[in-house]
Structure 1
Amino acid sequence: MAEENQTPATATEEQQAVLQIQRIYVKDISFEAPNLPHVFQQEWKPKLNFDLSTEAKQLGEDLYEVVLNISVETTLEDSGDLAFLCEVKQAGVFTISGLEDMQMAHCLTSQCPNMLFPYVRELVSNLVNRGTFPALNLSPVNFDALFMEFLQRQEQESQNAESSTEVQH
């Protein structure tokens, strides 16, 4: 009788969320220092330009590739000469399942890039070091804050689009 009162596990039960790293790799790398050795003869007053973006694509069921794109361009403040340009695409393949749409978006644009960042940070530092430039350690990036800014921009654009269509009617 006790067995009759137990309800069997159903497919409607919430699936457990899964996020697993399958592989982390360098997808593309470039280091240019076109003005060597000339820049070493100038006073080192660097001006750093840092760009960051992410890409994500589905490879199969519950399998995603996330790419963290980093570009670091350093010029000399006085002359404007390019000291170096370092571009890295650090990628990873992740198994992700059991997430709602918004959770999946957060995972692909925040959690996965957050896991990739230490690798790209070390790689950029190593490349700059091999160019015999002063050490460059990229500051940590708050991917959660970037995701929230993205959501706020989307919401604002949506509101602006709605208000512009109301005006046209």
Structure 2
Amino acid sequence: MTEANGAAPEAAPQVKMSVLAQFVRDLSFENVLAQKGFTGSEMQPDVQVAVSLDARKRAVEHQYEVVSKFRVSSKNKATGDTLFLLELEYGGVFHVEGVSEDQLHPFLLIECPRLLFPFIRRIISDVTRDGGFPALNVDTVDFLALYRQELARRAQAQAKPEAQPVQ
């Protein structure tokens, strides 16, 4: 296919992404139940998962580091006592080309964590199982929705009028 002037149409840049490395930056698991001593009461776990993301440019051209931070806590519904607390920071180093500057931020905070998530899920499952609890298989995280929530939160924070000094 050629344009009217005989030149080939300019193709959109091809997105290239590869995972160069993955790593655990920080991992902490606290079995509060074992530390306090098992009481034998009926356990009704209530698991809460909080996720946050961070991305930064590295010194090498087209390289970015993306870190997913998971905080998983479990409490006994009946008593409110904490059963365990797991904190995991899992990172990846990505080579990304062909993504426009205006799309780079969402790309790094949506697509990159999506690729890392299966590994994060596996670590959380193994650690909770090895920590004396049933293996916890974290539900799939919708990183697009998480990104949109963060944008909305930031917009709302900027829209709040600053308190006027009382005169």
Residue 121 of structure 1 corresponds to which residue in structure 2? 121
Please list every run of 5 or more consecutive structure 1 residues that lacks an aligned counterpart in the other structure: none
Q: Does 1:141 align with 2:141?
A: yes
Aligned pairs for 1:21-100 (under 5 A) are 21-36=19-34, 38-39=37-38, 41-59=40-58, 60-100=60-100
* Residue 75 (structure 1) shift: 1.3
Deviations 1:118-150 (A, max 9, x none): 111110010110112123111001111222333
Distance change >3 Å, CA 14–CA 135, structure 1 → 2? closer
Q: How does the TM-score come out when normalised to structure 2?
A: 0.80
CA distance in 1, matches of 2:146, 2:62: 24
1:20 alignment counterpart: 18
In 1, Cα distance between equivalents of 2:112 and 2:39: 38
Q: Is the Cα contact below 8 Å between 1:39 and 1:81 reproduced in 2? A: no
Contact between 2:43 and 2:78, CA under 8 Å: does it hold in 1?
no
Query: What's the TM-score once normalised by structure 1's chain length?
Result: 0.80
What is the CA–CA distance in structure 2 between the aligned matches of 1:100 and 1:151, rounded to whole Å? 19
CA–CA distance in structure 2, aligned partners of residues 146 and 74 of structure 1: 22
Q: Distance in 2 between matches of 1:70 and 1:87?
A: 6
| Aligned partner letter, 1:85 | L
Query: What is the rounded CA distance, in whole Å, between the counterparts of 1:79 and 1:39 in structure 2?
Result: 13
Q: CA offset at residue 7 of structure 1?
A: 6.0
Contact 2:30–2:85 (Cα < 8 Å) also in 1: yes
1 or 2, which has the higher helix percentage? 1
SS in 2 for 1:83: strand
Shift of the alpha carbon at 1:154?
A: 4.2
Structure 2 segments unaligned to the other structure (5+ residues): 163-167
Q: Is the 8 A contact 1:39 1:83 kept in 2?
A: no
Cα separation, 1, equivalents of 2:134 and 2:81: 16
Alpha-carbon offset, residue 157 of structure 1: 5.0
Secondary structure of the residue that 1:95 maps to in structure 2? strand
Counterpart of 1:139 in structure 2: which amino acid? D
Q: Across the two proteins, how many residue pairs are aligned to each other?
A: 157
